[in-house]
Structure 1
Amino acid sequence: MRGRLVIAAGALAMALTPGTGWAAQDSDVQATGSHRADAPVSRDDSRAGQGVPGYELVRLPNANVPNFQRRTVYCPAGKKALGGGAEARGNSAILVGSFPTDDGRGWIGLGRQTTTDNVGISVFVICANV
């Protein structure tokens, strides 16, 4: 049943956010502290989520990290993830995974490149009061 809820939440999030798609990220920001202070998380509470209480899109900007390293972005306190995604950047970049955190408060992504030992990964999570 949980799998169906995740898929349904992701579908809802994508329906509410034009131009977004599924993607991944590569390092656990809160657990590892790998999120750099000079690369702030951006937030967008634009009109895209009208009608969804507390709608907010939180982004973790692109950063080069070792292949297969997870990156995680979290919703603000009191909000849950409805969906999310990530992007692997580079000439031979491959998005390996994109999925919610176990507690439902964020989104995880990871990737790799076939020709180098690091990959550029950006991640986003769609949050709301649920």
Structure 2
Amino acid sequence: MRLNTLTTVALAALVGCAGLTAATALPASAGTTPVTASSTAADFTGYQIVKLPNANVPNFTRRAVRCPAGKHAIGGGAEAQGNRAILVGSFPTEDGAGWYGIGRQDGYSDVGISVYVICANVS
């Protein structure tokens, strides 16, 4: 049931990104708060992906990639690289203009992390 809720929310976000409008209440499941899609769609222009190439950093060190000035993060991701590497976190920066990646590697003191952010002008 949790997967269906997340999928529904993701689809609603994509509908908004495509310039369509909706005023649909999404189903709530135990422990979640219902989400209502906005009745006005945002305008996205200047779409680009910015990549922070792989680099070895100490385990649990945040690596951040930022959008160019004036653009906002509309998505992102990270990859942990190495023998027994584990991605610990992948999430937007506090100001919404970048993306973090965090990882660790069992049996080693460092891990390879690359981070990506999807940027756009949002109005």
TM over 0.5: yes
Unaligned runs of 5+ in 1: 17-50
In structure 2, what is the equivalent of residue 102 of structure 1? Answer: 94
Q: TM-score w.r.t. structure 2 length?
A: 0.65
Match of residue 56, structure 2, among 37, 40, 64: 64
Helix, strand or coil at the partner of 1:54: strand
AA aligned to 1:123 is V
The separation in 1 between residues aligned to 2:83 and 2:67, in whole angstroms, is 30
Match of residue 87, structure 1, among 79, 92, 95: 79
The separation in 2 between residues aligned to 1:92 and 1:118, in whole angstroms, is 11
Helix, strand or coil at the partner of 1:82: strand
Comparing both chains, which one has the higher relative contact order based on Cα–Cα distances under 8 Å and sequence gaps of 6 or more?
Answer: 1
Q: Which runs of 4+ in 1 moved over 3 A?
A: none
Q: TM-score w.r.t. structure 1 length?
A: 0.62
CA RMSD of aligned residues (A): 2.5
Unaligned runs of 5+ in 2: 1-5, 19-42
More strand, by proportion = 2
Match of residue 47, structure 2, among 35, 49, 55: 55
